[in-house]
Structure 1
Amino acid sequence: MIDWLNSPALVAFGVPTSWAEVLGFVTGLVNVGLLVRRHILNWPLGILNVLLLMVVFWSAGLYADSGLQIVYVILGCYGWWAWLHGGPDRTRLVVRHTTRTEWIGLAVAGVLLTGGLWLFLDRLTGSTVPLADGLTTALSLLATYGQTRKLVESWWIWIAADLIYIPLYAYKGLWLTAILYVAFLTLCVLGMRAWRGAWRDQRRSVTA
């Protein structure tokens, strides 16, 4: 199965593109589209997407991004549960803004994760882009955690990560994945607007 996923499916920009990358492209687009609409099925589809991308990133030597997918599977399972039962009295979660305490925690976690991953990748792996790999890994983890809690500002973190991912994947020759992240960037803007709208609707409902 792994051999087939790593086999060429097509040639994009003169570079052979594997089946794993093609399938990751398709499932990734659908997954983020569902996430923008706050549809619960984004979580199981997202788990499938990250398993495919794990194969892509390992083959490209992006070891932190590859290992990150395991954490994404765990966060995906947690997010699936939290959206259904993570609210008060195990009700469904609602969209909300990030508190000051949460921002401080995210900032501290981001600095520690980036620094730790950078050192690990630089000294113990063959990564050719240890800082960029570590930084995008940290940002992605923080953004995914924010979305498991339906935090509006998680989209801003994803936007920051995507702006680094796009040139990084182009540099590694993963052109289809780079294009996917351009689409992700657009969807992130749409997602932020949609979640802000949902938050305003909730506020009006509570006031009424």
Structure 2
Amino acid sequence: MIATSLTQASPLVWVSSITGIIFVTSLAQDYKHANLFGAIFSVTLAILSFEANFFGNALMNILFSVPVSLYAWYRSSRPSPGRYTLTLPQAIGWGALSVILLLCSIWFSVHSGSFMPIYDGISTMLPIIALVMMAFRLKEQWWIWLLFNALELVMWFKASGIQQGLWAVFAMKVIFLVNSVIGLIHWYRSAQQS
């Protein structure tokens, strides 16, 4: 919010920052309405990503993050089935599928004229993988979020150097990265206690 004020960011950046912070902090604490904020955040981030020429990111947010966030919100309103851990065969399957999806996403970003095609391609697919894992309440999702948020931090730092109004998005990504660590610790501790 401070970065939003200091950089005279647009109201959309302000709304995106607030809903994004509410989303990630409530998700890490397993708040059942977190994913509703995630859907709102995804819509605003899709618009901001498009404006920053992160086309893969924009498409991922609007076509995938919004529906999956709404599904996860619906699923979280039902009795909680708990948290799950991947078995080794499941982890291998997720890993193989992830590599294939990442390569396809990078190819798309390279051929779409993205500002940072390799980063955009990877950061387009990582949240898709993490969101599906989130919908199935897999605690390994936090490792994907951690990697994704670190990558996004680099992308938005570079974009902020070009468009000053995007510093608020960069500041939000710093918070997201810290929150990924908090979510990872919280979910793993919860799993050990159950």
SS in 1 for 2:44: helix
Larger Rg: 1
Runs of 4+ in 1 over 3 A off after TM superposition: none
Q: Identity over aligned residues, as a percent?
A: 21
CA–CA distance in structure 2, aligned partners of residues 179 and 98 of structure 1: 32
Residue 134 of structure 1: aligned partner: 121
TM-score (norm 1): 0.83
Q: Secondary structure at the match of 1:172?
A: helix
The alpha carbon displacement at 1:27 in A equals 0.7
Amino acid at match of 2:48: V
Select the residue among 80, 83, 89 that pairs with 1:92: 80
Unaligned runs of 5+ in 2: 161-165
Could you tell me which residue of structure 2 aligns to residue 116 of structure 1? Answer: 104
Do structure 1's residue 81 and structure 2's residue 74 form an aligned pair? yes
Please tell me whether the aligned partners of residues 82 and 93 of structure 1 are also in contact (alpha carbons under 8 angstroms).
Answer: no
Deviation at 1:109, TM superposition (A): 2.1
Structure with a larger share of its residues in strand: 1
Q: How do 1:36-185 residues align onto structure 2 when only pairs under 5 Å count?
A: 36-69=28-61, 70-85=63-78, 91-123=79-111, 125-173=112-160, 174-185=166-177
Give the structure 2 partner of residue 3 of structure 1.
none
Where relative contact order (Cα < 8 A, 6+ residues apart) is larger, the structure is 2
C-alpha separation in 1, matches of 2:189 and 2:5: 40
**Pairs aligned (count):** 185
Deviation by residue 1:70-121 (Cα, 9 ceiling, x = unmatched): 2001111221233344xxxxx4220122222321222122211221122122
Gaps of 5+ in 1: 1-8, 86-90, 203-208
Give the CA deviation at 1:39: 0.9
Which residue pairs with 2:23 in the alignment? 31
Aligned-residue CA RMSD (Å): 1.6
Question: Letter of the aligned partner of 1:201 in structure 2?
Answer: Q
User: Is the contact made by 2:56 and 2:108 (CA closer than 8 Å) also made in structure 1?
Assistant: no
> Which stretch shows the higher mean deviation, 172-181 or 53-62?
172-181
